[in-house]
Amino acid sequence: MNSFDGKVALVTGGASGMGRAISQHFAAAGASVLVADLDADGGAETVAAIVAAGGTASFVRADVSVSSEVEALVAAIVETYGRLDHAVNNAAIERERGPLHELDDDVFDQIIAVNLRSVFLSMKHELRQFLAQDAGGTIVNLASTNSFRPQSNQSAYTASKHGVLGLTRNAAVDYARHGIRINAICPGSIDTPMLRNAMQVKGRDPAEVAGRLSLTGKFGTVDEIAKAALWLSSDDSSFTMGHALAVDGGYLAR
């Protein structure tokens, strides 16, 4: 994979899990990284880990479901590093605990706001910066295997991730002529704090979940998602656009 020396990357939801790993891998490959999240403590920990490893990173606390905060976030990365070359829109939540007819309106609205509206807003302002620079760029959005195959009691989450895939594909069509490549990753059962918390709340056995959701009987790692994000952001994937890359232990093949 080619070096990201001299490049600038923005990672939303970078305070933990997949977002932290993606931020660390970008920095290790030479990029300057701006980590965005609502969790200031977690964001600071991500930056500290990057700096301790010899990388360059900074943190901005932002609610990426709010347009003005996303606009300020992109402005901050340009002010700090001078430009934007790569973006990974990773921020997401999963809060459902029952079937659709029992789902509270405010829970549905929050899931759509964080998982889908935030991707729309992030892409909107990232694309504006790319167009202003007139030098291309890449965007990787975190969708899900739910974009193709729903899990029970996840109606809002599934709807949000279908939407992420739709935004990714349509924007890929619209902006390829500007040298901007837009793709998505569809993670399966990745071992993250969000997954562990969801299993605990729902009383699920991790071994059963891993066996049901992968062909290997194991959870994927955050590093595997990070490597996929870097590949989709690199020149090695220069002919890849509008693609949904499943990193799912073969779940969708079953």
Would you name the residues annotated as active-site residues? Answer: 157
Q: Do residues 173 and 114 lie in contact, with contact meaning Cβ atoms separated by under 8 Å? A: no
Task: Compute the distance between CA of residue 91 and CA of residue 101 in angstroms, rounded to an integer.
Answer: 26
Q: Widest CA span of the chain, in angstroms?
A: 50
Cβ atoms 185, 228 nearer than 8 A:
yes
Say which residues have a Cβ less than 8 Å from residue 201's Cβ, sequence separation at least 6: 97
Q: What is the sign, positive or negative, of the torsion defined by CA atoms of 198, 200, 201, 202?
A: positive
Structure tokens at 168: 């990714």
Strands 56-61 and 86-89: unpaired
170/196 Cα distance (integer angstroms) = 33
